[in-house]
């Protein structure tokens, strides 16, 4: 059999040529998007049409350069200052380079010998998190995203608190976790994966400020006991996804201690505020949590996906999975910090520690402080601006970089939802801005998250003007949409 194709695919000179072209393309994209030059953040194309496009594309031969150029044109531009949508970082280029390195080297990371440098680097990264949380005996590891990280932490909670040895014997008793009704859906998903069922997820209502009602914890807990459940954990959101509001971690911690249950903090979005000298006060009490998760690819500028799972007690970070795998490690009773597969869901995992370390190496942890601080400042500035604007209404005063609001103008209140839904759809199809939406206490709101440190007051003003323009057009067509 000819190996010519394989030789071509692994040709170092070709890699350099195509790599140089790709970096040039991305560097130019970065320069232009950072300045907001492209007129669109996204080009809305319905899924079936996009699918047809790529189905046709693959039938013909295209250069790698053409492929990446076409791909770029058809992708959402998260480095554009008018990208104010979902919570995904405007990746710091150095982190993207580290990801490229990881992708090409492909060190597997399950066992130390399959990723020696990246394993040791992971420990350095974890040390940085542990220190900034304020844990004295903490430890942890990195995993593939907040969803998996929350599940990992919930499994650790079950291991530590449940009366039964579920890992070996399966479920005998009914278990439950307590969580805010505003928590990210992945906590609910984790509980269901663990077999807790709908009734094992005790959703605590939020107060007027959308934080978990700590005054209600006792009653919900007692009701769960009455219903025959063992409550194993309570989860605090830092912050919750829809609103950007932080739960009161100190009060939750006191409750968890009193009931001898696990206290977990979902800091996927805003746990990174531990690095911000200005905003770390929002996380008061985080050092009392038994476990914390923090995403790099949200507020820390790393490329996706990489999440730190941190534990107050070192031993807990080893306790979740106890499995023998003789082809990987011999000693199951030895923690072996350097054989990360013992502690993570993943067997093979990417060299995700590099994405943090490259930033630390180039800019120090000051980068994380600056990034969180600038973005939270932007959210609050936008909140103040909206408050002063007679045509708009805030859902709540923003605490972080997540801002929920709606256009009200001179509309009758019963049409708010219809008009704002239309505004969001028109914005998506127009593509100049990218923002999203949410429903809070049954009411529809536009939702923005400031993820790009270069989004400024001018963009905020342009966004509100744009929305007003769309609302005007909707008004003109109002008979047609039956207002």
Ligand X SMILES: Cc1ncc(COP(=O)(O)O)c(C=O)c1O
* Minimum CB–partner distance for residue 410 and ligand X (Å): 35
Interaction of residue 85 with ligand X, rule CB under 6 A: no
Interaction of residue 146 with ligand X, rule CB under 6 A: yes
Residues 227-256 that bind ligand X (CB under 6 A): 237, 241
Interaction of residue 80 with ligand X, rule CB under 6 A: no
CB atoms within 10 A of CB 112: 17
Contact stretch for ligand X (CB under 6 A) within 45-53, 145-153, 222-230, 283-291: 145-153
How far is 227 from 399, CA to CA, in rounded Å?
36
Q: Which of 186, 265, 292, 340 binds ligand X (CB under 6 A)?
A: 186
Q: Tokens at residue 128, please?
A: 């940085």
Q: Which residue is nearest to ligand X (CB)?
A: 146
DSSP type of residue 302: P
The interface mask with ligand X, positions 190-229, x = CB under 6 A, is ----------------------------------------
Q: Which is nearer to ligand X, 268 or 375 (CB)?
A: 268
Alpha carbon of residue 111 to chain centroid: 27
- Nearest 10 degrees: CA dihedral of 174, 178, 179, 185? -10
The interface mask with ligand X, positions 2-31, x = CB under 6 A, is ------------------------------
- Nearest 10 degrees: CA dihedral of 318, 319, 320, 326? 70
Q: Which of 87, 143, 253, 344 binds ligand X (CB under 6 A)?
A: 87
- Residue 354, CA distances (Å) to 119, 308, 371 in order: 10, 13, 18
Number of helices (H), then strands (E), belonging to the chain: the values are 17, 11
Phi, psi (5° rounding) for residue 257? -65, -45
Contact stretch for ligand X (CB under 6 A) within 151-159, 215-223, 264-272, 421-429: 264-272
Evaluate the omega torsion of the peptide bond into residue 239 and state whether it is cis, within 30 degrees of 0.
Answer: yes
Phi, psi (5° rounding) for residue 252? -65, -40
Q: Which of 130, 268, 274, 411 binds ligand X (CB under 6 A)?
A: 268
Q: Which is nearer to ligand X, 82 or 269 (CB)?
A: 269
> How is the chain split among helix, strand and coil, in percent rounded to 5?
50, 15, 35
Interaction of residue 266 with ligand X, rule CB under 6 A: yes
Contact stretch for ligand X (CB under 6 A) within 17-25, 43-51, 168-176, 265-273: 265-273
How far is 212 from 182, CA to CA, in rounded Å?
8
Interaction of residue 300 with ligand X, rule CB under 6 A: no
Interaction of residue 147 with ligand X, rule CB under 6 A: yes
Q: Which is nearer to ligand X, 379 or 409 (CB)?
A: 379
Using alpha carbons only, give the angle 241, 366, 139 rounded to the nearest 5 degrees. 65
How far is 263 from 255, CA to CA, in rounded Å?
9
Q: Which is nearer to ligand X, 84 or 467 (CB)?
A: 84
* Minimum CB–partner distance for residue 305 and ligand X (Å): 6
- Residues of this chain that bind ligand X (CB under 6 A): 87, 145-147, 150, 184, 186, 237, 241, 266, 268-269, 295, 305, 307
């Amino acid at each position: 059999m000819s190996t010519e194709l394989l030789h071509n695919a692994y040709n170092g000179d070709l890699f350099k040529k195509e790599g140089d072209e790709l970096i040039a393309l991305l560097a130019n994209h970065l320069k232009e998007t950072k300045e907001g030059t492209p007129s669109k953040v996204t080009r809305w194309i319905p899924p079936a049409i996009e699918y047809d496009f790529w189905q046709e594309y693959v039938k013909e031969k295209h250069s790698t350069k053409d492929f990446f150029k076409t791909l770029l044109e058809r992708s959402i531009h998260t480095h554009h200052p008018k990208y104010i949508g979902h919570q995904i970082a405007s990746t710091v280029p150095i982190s993207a380079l580290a990801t490229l390195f990881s992708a090409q080297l492909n060190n597997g990371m399950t066992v130390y010998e399959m990723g020696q440098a990246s394993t040791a680097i992971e420990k350095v990264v974890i040390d940085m998190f542990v220190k900034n949380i304020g844990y004295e005996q903490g430890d942890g590891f990195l995993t593939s995203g907040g969803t998996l990280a929350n599940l990992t932490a919930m499994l650790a909670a079950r291991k530590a608190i449940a009366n039964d040895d579920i890992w070996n014997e399966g479920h005998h008793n009914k278990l439950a976790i307590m969580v805010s009704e505003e928590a990210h859906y992945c906590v609910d998903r984790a509980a269901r994966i663990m077999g807790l069922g709908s009734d094992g997820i005790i959703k605590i209502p939020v107060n007027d400020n959308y934080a978990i009602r700590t005054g209600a914890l006792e009653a919900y807990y007692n009701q769960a006991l009455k219903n025959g459940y063992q409550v194993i954990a309570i989860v605090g959101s830092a912050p919750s996804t829809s609103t950007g509001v932080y739960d009161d971690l100190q009060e939750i911690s006191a409750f968890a201690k009193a009931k001898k249950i696990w206290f977990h903090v979902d800091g996927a979005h805003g746990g990174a505020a531990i690095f911000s000298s200005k905003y770390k006060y929002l996380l008061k009490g985080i050092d009392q949590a038994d476990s914390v998760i923090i995403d790099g690819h949200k507020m820390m500028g790393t490329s996706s996906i990489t999440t730190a799972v941190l534990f107050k007690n070192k031993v807990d970070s080893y306790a979740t999975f106890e499995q023998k795998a003789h082809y990987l490690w011999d000693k199951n009773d030895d923690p072996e910090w350097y054989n990360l597969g013992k502690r993570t869901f993943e067997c093979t995992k990417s060299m995700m520690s590099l994405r943090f370390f490259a930033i630390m190496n180039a800019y120090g942890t000051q980068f994380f402080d600056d990034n969180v601080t600038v973005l939270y400042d932007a959210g609050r500035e936008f909140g103040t601006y909206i408050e002063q604007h007679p045509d708009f209404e805030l859902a709540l005063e923003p605490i972080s970089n997540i801002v929920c609001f709606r256009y009200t103008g001179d509309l009758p209140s019963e049409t708010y939802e219809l008009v704002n839904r239309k505004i969001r759809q028109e914005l998506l199809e127009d593509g100049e801005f990218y923002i999203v939406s949410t429903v809070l206490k049954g009411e529809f709101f536009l939702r923005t998250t400031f993820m790009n440190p270069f989004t400024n007051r001018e963009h905020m003003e342009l966004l509100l003007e744009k929305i007003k323009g769309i609302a005007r057009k909707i008004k003109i067509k109002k008979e047609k949409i039956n207002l």
